[in-house]
Structure 1
Amino acid sequence: MLEHKFHRPERGLVMTETAQGGRGIEGYASVFGLRDQGGDVVARGAYAASLARLAARAGRVKMLWQHDPAQPIGLWEEVREDATGLWVKGRLLTEVERGREAAALLEAGAIDGLSIGYRTLRAGRDGKGRRVLHELELWEVSLVTFPMLPEARVAGKSDDLPQALRELAGLFDEARRSLAGR
């Protein structure tokens, strides 16, 4: 079954103009050692085998809109693990309507999260009862509206949201926590 993890890197998601046209984006899609609201922690090295398998067959991690496989919005041109987590660099395809919309929404701060879509291959429990994800099969990295982690938003954008949206985000977070506990 495909699972999702959301993340807002401390350093934020950087947007630039690209030579090929479109909008370049880069940042951390996942950070090692952070507990999410579902109680999971991604361990260092969890993506290494999956990235190696993708590279061996010249495959790519997909860039999707809100985890919808019918809505690719760009290309991840570089995906790698480092000491911090899973770093991604790519470009939104502004030739595609949803890519233009995603760029505009990111620039305005209306969306500000990254989320990984993956399948767990190997996990265990630590002494605190948290599920530690040791090996993941990475399928996609999406741009998303509501992140699972409180930190899972692009830095500097969440303070610009109107109060009503902050309250709505809180309700979604509460519902997600409730569902994770079942």
Structure 2
Amino acid sequence: MQTKAFPAYVKDGLEAGQFEAIVSVFNTRDYGGDVVMPGAFSRSLSEWKAKGDPIPVIWSHQIGDPESHIGVVVEAAELQAGDDRLPVKIRGNGGLWVRAQLDLEEPRAAKVHKLLKDRRVTQFSFTYDVAKGAPVDWEGRKSFGLYDLTLHEVGPTLLGMNPETALVGAKAGTCPTCGHTADSAKASPAPVASRLSPASIEAMLRVEALDVEP
């Protein structure tokens, strides 16, 4: 399995503990040299829907740790270029959009939620297997096109690689453990992360309030 991450924008109108994120941006070359193509997730999303199981939200890809399973995806869709739900900066690309619910009654999920709202964690990522991919020449650079991906999980993480991606929204909630209620705030761009490894390719996420034009 491999990982990849992408940016984000906070907005109102979500239920407590929810976030929206563009976890993959289409038609853009990331720092690992990959280009995710439109339609890359359609098969996998259909399979998840047919099973009736929710896509897990896992903290920093810690799949083997039950405490790191901090929520579930409640809705996911491939958004095509021009969709109004896409942040302005990537509206010409399209991408994979998710709305997820964090388990705020669980201490780790509540902590991660606070980290997101405080901008101490500003990136998201997903784990996948490549079902179909091929070398491509992308804007004069040798790249690898990802045409069909098997999606395993999504979630917040510390480091990423693609400057084009974004957290689309996170709703403040009250932590049942400490009683803290976080407010959304405008964020500075996240720093560019260095390459992790061929098996850990992630894109950058940047959090900023939606009351400011993205």
Give the TM bin, normalised by the shorter chain. 0.7 to 0.9
SS of the aligned residue for 1:120 comes to strand
| CA distance, structure 2, for counterparts of residue 34 and residue 13 of structure 1 | 23
| CA distance, structure 1, for counterparts of residue 166 and residue 50 of structure 2 | 32
Q: What corresponds to 2:194 in structure 1?
A: 174
Percent identity at matched positions? Answer: 27
| CA distance, structure 1, for counterparts of residue 13 and residue 160 of structure 2 | 23
Matching of residues 1-182 of structure 1 within 5 Å: 2-9=1-8, 12-14=9-11, 18=15, 22-69=16-63, 70=65, 71-83=68-80, 84-127=94-137, 128-152=141-165, 154=167, 156-159=186-189, 173-176=193-196, 179-180=197-198
| CA distance, structure 2, for counterparts of residue 158 and residue 146 of structure 1 | 15
Q: What is the CA-CA distance between 1:42 and the residue it aligns to?
A: 0.3
Q: What corresponds to 1:162 in structure 2?
A: none
Structure with greater helix percent? 1
Q: What is the CA-CA distance between 1:60 and the residue it aligns to?
A: 2.1
Higher relative contact order (CA 8 A, sep 6+): 2
Q: What is the CA-CA distance between 1:44 and the residue it aligns to?
A: 0.2
Q: Which runs of 5+ in 2 are unaligned?
A: 81-93, 169-185, 199-214
Aligned residue type for 1:158: S
Runs of 4+ in 1 over 6 A off after TM superposition: none
Pick closer, same or farther for the CA change 1:14–1:145 going to 2, 3 Å: farther
Across the aligned residues of Structure 1 and Structure 2, the Cα RMSD in angstroms comes to: 2.1
| CA distance, structure 2, for counterparts of residue 68 and residue 13 of structure 1 | 25
Aligned residue type for 1:68: Q
Aligned residue type for 1:82: L
SS of the aligned residue for 1:28 comes to strand
Deviations, residues 71-120 of structure 1 (Å, cap 9, x unaligned):
11111100111201110002111101111111110111001111010000
Q: Which runs of 5+ in 1 are unaligned?
A: 160-165
Aligned length: 162
